[in-house]
Amino acid sequence: MMNALQAIMTRRSTRSYKSDALEPEKLQQIIDAGRYAPSGGNNQSCHFIVVQKPEVLAKLAKMVENAFAKMEITPETYSSLKMSIQLSKKGGYVFHYNAPVLIIVANKQNYGNNMADCAVAVENMLIAANSLDLGSCWINQLNWLTEDENILPYLRELGLKDDERVYASLVVGYAKSDLPSREPLPRKGNEVTFV
Amino acid sequence: MMNALQAIMTRRSTRSYKSDALEPEKLQQIIDAGRYAPSGGNNQSCHFIVVQKPEVLAKLAKMVENAFAKMEITPETYSSLKMSIQLSKKGGYVFHYNAPVLIIVANKQNYGNNMADCAVAVENMLIAANSLDLGSCWINQLNWLTEDENILPYLRELGLKDDERVYASLVVGYAKSDLPSREPLPRKGNEVTFV
């Protein structure tokens, strides 16, 4: 198994997956990695909704496509959201890249650290997946749509509580093609200032 | 060096540090881990301000104490913030736990993924520090005070840009006492729902 720095430096976004299910023990290791992320004041109020049922994934994908297809693009629309809207209007948009597992991370809506806590839980799971030679990708679509009139009630059917909203998600599975070179890509931004 | 899952599962918050400086190569590995975190649309707009000068750390600590000491606690005050306010009113509050290195992560104020991107950069650095047998701790105080009338101008002197604000930070260094048992503590929350 790769060491922590290697797992961090070689993590990539995978957007094409085999249909193979994950071994339950690997999935559990990934979930544990998320559950052991730090939280504000050790609050531990993340709620992990782990979706594997193909019919639920397909229904969510259709709802997400429908929601984006109704949106208008303005000059202020964030680039990734713009792409989701454009692809949904064309049809056939699958936000979860047909990965076999989607892990939705929700948290209390009135809790100040909700976004940070969910984000670090997802990051831990991305690193864990990479260390297990699995592909993974951050998913922002469900937090963009967490208040959607169709998606919110459906997420509640899946277990989301009334006082919770989605702040971050990921998909995970076996990458369809061989993973690209494990050499880290140079960073173009993320400036450092030493004081 | 420990593997990725071990580094994730055994990460702890360290709140007491030796004064020893970090080896520059270890510090660089930690910063690189932060710079290689994912970002929304691969935006890479985090700005890492790495503070090691003792006089700057001391000045920041005093400013933070002064800012908290002026705040009032209400029934709605978040528990960790409440503790910072109480300790500051008593005097002698040092938000960075006398660690030799403080890494402030800022991002564009008008960018929707600013909090998530800074949070995952900090998480990568916490995991990297743990894998290098260093202590570390998440620091929320500077994002709580990022609009403070004294702290914001001082952060700008240190390199923060006009359109940036602080969203997450960490401290890192050698833990003063031997680290506690490396066995992960059981989680009390962070519920999981399988679908």
Q: What is the ipTM of this complex?
A: 0.93
* pLDDT value of position A76: 84
How far is it, in rounded angstroms, from Cα B140 to Cα B162? 20
Confidence of residue B180 (pLDDT cuts 50, 70, 90): low
Q: Which site among A111, A132, A138, A195 would you substitute to test the B interface, given the most B Cβ atoms closer than 10 Å to its Cβ?
A: A195
Q: A37 vs B130: CB contact, 8 Å cut-off?
A: no
pTM over 0.80: yes
Q: What is the pLDDT of residues A136-173, one digit of tens each?
A: 999 999 999 999 999 999 999 999 999 999 999 999 99
The per-residue pLDDT of chain A, averaged, comes to: 93
Per-residue pLDDT at A1 exceeds 80: no
The C-alpha of B118 sits at a distance from chain A's nearest C-alpha, in angstroms, of: 8
Per-residue pLDDT at A3 exceeds 70: yes
Confidence of residue A183 (pLDDT cuts 50, 70, 90): low
Q: Which residues of A, range 34-93, sit inside 8 Å of B by Cβ?
A: 34-41, 43-53, 56, 78-80
A2 shares contact with chain B (CB less than 8 Å): yes
Q: B49 vs A131: CB contact, 8 Å cut-off?
A: no
CA B149 to chain centre: 21
* pLDDT value of position A182: 59
A154 shares contact with chain B (CB less than 8 Å): no
The C-alpha of A136 sits at a distance from chain B's nearest C-alpha, in angstroms, of: 12
Q: B190 vs A45: CB contact, 8 Å cut-off?
A: yes
Among A54-63, A81-90, B157-166, B176-185, where is mean pLDDT lowest?
A: B176-185
Mean pLDDT score, B82-100: 94
Per-residue pLDDT at B178 exceeds 70: no
* pLDDT value of position A185: 79
Q: What is the pLDDT of residues B34-74, one digit of tens each?
A: 999 999 989 999 999 999 999 999 999 999 999 999 999 99
The C-alpha of A104 sits at a distance from chain B's nearest C-alpha, in angstroms, of: 10
Mean pLDDT score, A97-119: 96
Round to the nearest angstrom and report the end-to-end CA distance of chain A.
36
Q: B50 vs A192: CB contact, 8 Å cut-off?
A: yes
Directed axis angle between helix B114-131 and helix A114-131, to 10°?
Answer: 50
The per-residue pLDDT of chain B, averaged, comes to: 93
Q: B52 vs A195: CB contact, 8 Å cut-off?
A: yes
Collapsing DSSP to helix, strand or coil, A106 comes out as strand
Position B90, amino acid: K
The dihedral region occupied by A121, where left means phi > 0, alpha psi between -120 and 50, and beta the remainder, is alpha
Per-residue pLDDT at A184 exceeds 80: no
A114 shares contact with chain B (CB less than 8 Å): no
Mean pLDDT score, A88-117: 96
**Which residues of chain B make contact with A128, given a CB cutoff of 8 A?**
4-5, 8
Position B133, amino acid: D
* pLDDT value of position A177: 76
The most distant pair of C-alpha atoms in chain B lies apart, rounded to whole Å, by 53
B32 shares contact with chain A (CB less than 8 Å): yes
Identity of the residue in B9, B46, B194 whose CB atom sits nearest the CB atom of A50: B194
